Amino acid sequence: MDKSFSTSQNKGKKTGNDGNTFFLKAIAMPALTVLFCVFFSFTANAQDKIIQKNGKEIKAKVLGTDSQYIRFKRYDNPGGPDYFLFRTDVLRIEYENGKTEPKTEPEKVTQEPARNTPVNTEALERKIAKYQKRSMTFLTAGSVAIVAGAITILKLTGDYNKYKTAVQGTNDSYTTWYQTNYKTAPPAADLQKQESFSAFASPGIYGGAAALIGGLALDLIGLRNMQLAQKTRTELAGKQKELSLQPFYDASYQTTGLKIALSF
């Protein structure tokens, strides 16, 4: 009996081991296969992508980048050598964590203005007015100074001529009287001496000369501003005569077309 019981017990143990083996084959192995496939699929997708400008895509593991190069290993040969690409040949890098380098941003749409900005002539017109005002001011002041200086010099010249005539007349009269009474010419020391024009007209002559010189300088400045005004006026006329061909849209008329403006 003991031997038979022992044999029966051993048979029971063998039957239990067969059940465990059947469980592993029927349930555990397919589950492990599914987990392995999921892990392999995740690993296969967890890779960097280098997209070149020529459209080619490289599956890789990016090791580092700088301003010139991109260093990586090929994903299908992780133990192989390091590869390099010029950054200028690469469009972007898509990392396994979802980041992109360089960061892509949606293109900004810039709306063109409906009308081109017209030629701004106000600045030129202000310049013309400024130059004209300066020109009139300096020319007027210069002309007045020249006239005043010329009048002063002419007046002094006339007075000097009268003075010389008076001195000459006095000396002639004295010489005639002296010769009548003494039968000889009078001593030179007895005759009245004439002053020079600068001594006679001083200091008025210097004021007149300064007025003439200053007036000429003011006139030159005025003429220069007149030239600048004329130059600016020519520039303004050139801008106003430019043919402006520009698209426009007027909401009040709900129409589009071409605007042609020709100013003379």
- The one-digit pLDDT tens for each residue of the chain (264 residues) are 444 444 444 444 444 555 555 544 555 566 556 555 544 444 444 589 999 999 999 999 999 898 899 999 998 888 889 999 998 999 999 998 888 887 544 445 555 544 544 556 888 889 899 999 999 999 999 999 999 999 999 999 999 999 999 999 999 998 999 889 888 888 988 889 989 998 899 899 999 999 999 999 999 999 999 999 999 988 888 877 764 444 444 444 444 444 444 444
Return the closest-CA partner of residue 239 out of 118, 80, 84, 58: 118
- 157 is written with which tokens? 């010249």
Model-wide pTM > 0.85: no
CA distance 40 to 33: 10
The residues near 86 (Cβ < 8 Å, ≥ 6 apart) are 68, 69, 70
Output the CA torsion sign for 176, 177, 178, 183: positive
- 159 is written with which tokens? 């007075």
Asked if 82 contacts 71 with a C-beta cutoff of 8 angstroms, the reply is yes
